[in-house]
Amino acid sequence: MTTAPAPTNWTELRTWLTRSTDDRVLTGVAGGLGARLGVGSGYVRAAFFGLALTWFGLILYPVLFFVSGGTAPSADLRRDELDQRQRLGLALMFAGAMVAFGSTNRWLGGLTIGAVTLIAFGIAAVWDRSLAGVAAGDQNQSRLRIIMGAVVIIAGMAVLLGSSDNLTGLGPVVLAVGITMAGLILVFGPWALRLAADLGEERRDRIRSEERAEMAAHLHDSVLQTFAMIQRTDDPKKMTTLARSQERELRSWLYGARGGEHGRMLSDALEDMADRVEQATDVPVEVVVVNDLPMGPRLDAVVAATGEATINAARHSGSMKVSVYAEVDAGVLEVFVTDQGVGFDPDEVPPDRHGLRQSVVDRMTRHAGTAEIISEPGEGTEIHLTMPLEAS
Amino acid sequence: MTPVRVFLVDDHALFLRGVRSELSDREAFDIVGSATDVDDAIASIRRLVPDIVLIDVHMPGGGGLSVIRNVVETHPDVRFLALSVSDAPDDVIAMIRAGARGYVTKTIGGDELAEALERTADGDAVFSPRLAGFVLDAFAGALPKPDDPELDQLTPREREVLRQIARGHTYKQVARRLSISVKTVETHVSAVLRKLQLSSRHELARWATDRRIV
């Protein structure tokens, strides 16, 4: 940060008077000016406010606005803070301007203007960075600044009260109470706000750590246990089954919460069914559901029939995996259970497939659905279930 | 036939080694390199210009998504096949829309992975049953409207092909069942992929919004 060169011509002046984009109340003139001068923008605002009480500030501000040649973030305009002597110089210049223009003012008495300006500077001092985290070494200085600001505010108010005959129409008691309240808010407001912000931060931290603890507990109960079991297993098929079942559980925990809104969905029921078949047979079952819908009595029958068909395929087809596909279209639920296994001739049902006929076909027809078995020796098997979904 | 030049990207070194040993036994593939982070992947792919990049979805530093986006800008001919443990719909759809030619999960077997890579190298799209299910879900209920000449509706035939794939059938089985050639199946699947990638679909957007993906 270097000292910005003082402007020597019109173009430089326009560049020098850049409005701030991030530190602005009206147009950013005060923010930009404060950054360029190396004083807090709050003091610049207080100065504008004081000058505005005389006629001069009301002209100066728009002039500066139109002269300023663009906008930029305050950080780009920032220069070193002024030392005490330079500050005193600026303050004296301002005081001189106030006296000069204040004395020509017919509207408010010079004393009132002075008091209100004093209060404005006190406010600027109290609020100046007192909200931002103060660096450790800086703490005494900032405390001193706040105390001095408070003293200035109180002094300004005392003067204002003393000259309150100018502010006609307000009872002196109401005025005193109002001004005292305003003073309290101004002095303690920043502190209270900071306290509230700290509390919010603390609460967020607590929620975060609670979530973390819950997640750790869940991972411990599920994933770590499964890992321990996998390490104790010698059978690769068993390992795969354990891993797949854990994967399914973790997935539903991570991406789940489907059940929350509509209750149990068809996809949940089919996933559970697939999990049971995998546990029983060590054959992976892949479930794909299109147009999920909430469970109902008819769907229970379909899920049960699908389960029978799936376990049959897993046990007898010799396929590496079984696919379950469910889709709702035009009010009809269709389920396909497909394997790439040995297949068979549906007209010559072998004895061990009698279960298929009874538990799948009969179950579906009892609930007004249909079941069709499509298979050829060597070409895998597909069982096609349909169930009309009546509008109930 | 010259081998397909494959580049691997995955932040898990162990998994990378597994895939490498699985593919290096096969004549059809030449593994030209691998990377374990996003920046290295982008730089190496631009330097080596492989035929196919087998890419993980979740990685530190922007993931596979940012690799695809960066490479596609400069090398549109490099094809991507996404490989991930995640089959969450938002991951799948995001990768496909970024330009991946297919999406398979890490539970895929070695033979299936090899077939998927070959298919991608030939310029076809690779749809796993689950991905086909997502796409059907996304376009569900969207019937062609005569006054809405959107390019990216699925045709009944494309829908039927996807449905067969979602049911777990291979392209060859799909072809036989629908009495069409494998080439035609591939054409349909590629058309669906193109529609997914090009469209700023409102069906897709609505579907994603319904599931609180976006």
Contact B168 A323 (CB under 8 A): yes
Query: By mean pLDDT, which of A26-30, A116-120, A183-187 is the weakest?
Result: A183-187
Most confident of A104-118, A153-167, A231-245: A231-245
CATH architecture entry for B125-214: Orthogonal Bundle (1.10)
Whether chain B has a CB inside 8 Å of the CB on A378: the answer is: no
Query: By mean pLDDT, which of A358-367, B16-25, B62-71 is the weakest?
Result: A358-367
Q: How are strands ordered across the β-sheet holding A285-290?
A: A285-290, A322-329, A332-339, A381-388, A370-375
* Residue-level pLDDT at B53: 93
Q: What percent of chain B has pLDDT over 90?
A: 16
Task: Copy the structure tokens of residue A261.
Answer: 């809104």
Smallest Cβ–Cβ distance between A291 and the set B107, B130, B137 belongs to B137
Mean pLDDT of A14-42: 80
Query: Of A251, A39, A55, which is closest to residue A145 (Cα–Cα)?
Result: A39
- Is 60 exceeded by the pLDDT of residue B213? no
Contact A288 B163 (CB under 8 A): no
Q: What percent of chain A has pLDDT over 90?
A: 4
Residue scoring higher pLDDT (A171 or B2): B2
8 Å CB contact between A54 and A86? no
Catalogue the E-assigned strands of chain B.
Answer: 4-9, 29-35, 52-56, 79-84, 102-105, 126-127
Q: How many CB pairs under 8 A join A and B?
A: 50
Contact A244 B107 (CB under 8 A): yes
Question: pLDDT tens, B125-155?
Answer: 888 888 888 888 877 654 444 444 444 577 8
* Residue-level pLDDT at B43: 92
Mean pLDDT of B100-113: 83
* Residue A363, number of CB atoms within 10 A of its CB: 17
Most confident of A187-191, A244-248, A255-259, B180-184: B180-184
B107 CB neighbours in chain A (<8 A) are: 244, 284
- Is 60 exceeded by the pLDDT of residue A392? no
* Residue B156, number of CB atoms within 10 A of its CB: 10
pTM: 0.57
* Band (A167; pLDDT cuts 50, 70, 90): low
* Band (A130; pLDDT cuts 50, 70, 90): very low
8 Å CB contact between B80 and B42? no
* Residue-level pLDDT at A385: 92
Mean pLDDT of B36-49: 91
Smallest Cβ–Cβ distance between B136 and the set A255, A290, A323 belongs to A290
CATH number of B1-123: 3.40.50.2300
* Residue-level pLDDT at B144: 45
CATH 1.10.10.10 intervals, chain B:
125-214
A336 CB neighbours in chain B (<8 A) are: 167-168
Residue scoring higher pLDDT (A369 or A132): A369
| CA atoms of B121 and A324, how far apart (whole Å) | 29
In angstroms, the separation between the Cα of residue B133 and the nearest Cα of chain A is: 6
Smallest Cβ–Cβ distance between B133 and the set A251, A288, A339 belongs to A288
Q: Give the ipTM of the model, two decimals please.
A: 0.76
B85 CB neighbours in chain A (<8 A) are: 247
Q: What percent of chain A has pLDDT over 70?
A: 82
* Residue B91, number of CB atoms within 10 A of its CB: 21
* Residue-level pLDDT at B148: 45
Mean pLDDT of chain A: 78
Residue of B nearest to A330 (CA): B141
Mean pLDDT of chain B: 82
Q: CB under 8 Å to B69, separation ≥6 — which residues? A: B98, B99
The CATH label, of 2.40.50.140, 3.40.50.300, 3.30.565.10, 3.40.50.150, for the domain at A236-388 is 3.30.565.10
Task: Classify the C-alpha dihedral B163-B169-B170-B174 as positive or negative.
Answer: negative
Distances (CA, A) of A65 to A19, A53, A61, A68: 8, 18, 6, 5
| CA atoms of A358 and A295, how far apart (whole Å) | 23
| CA atoms of A152 and A126, how far apart (whole Å) | 10
Structural domain boundaries in chain A: 10-203, 236-388
- Backbone torsion region of residue B61, taken as left when φ is above 0, otherwise alpha when ψ lies between -120 and 50, otherwise beta: left
What's the maximum distance between 2 C-alpha atoms anywhere in chain A?
116
CATH 3.40.50.2300 intervals, chain B:
1-123
3-class DSSP state of B29: strand
Mean pLDDT of A134-138: 48
3-class DSSP state of A82: coil
| CA atoms of B66 and B167, how far apart (whole Å) | 32
| CA atoms of B23 and B66, how far apart (whole Å) | 25
* Band (A96; pLDDT cuts 50, 70, 90): confident
8 Å CB contact between B37 and B64? no
- Is 80 exceeded by the pLDDT of residue A317? yes
Query: Of B38, B103, B36, which is closest to residue B70 (Cα–Cα)?
Result: B38
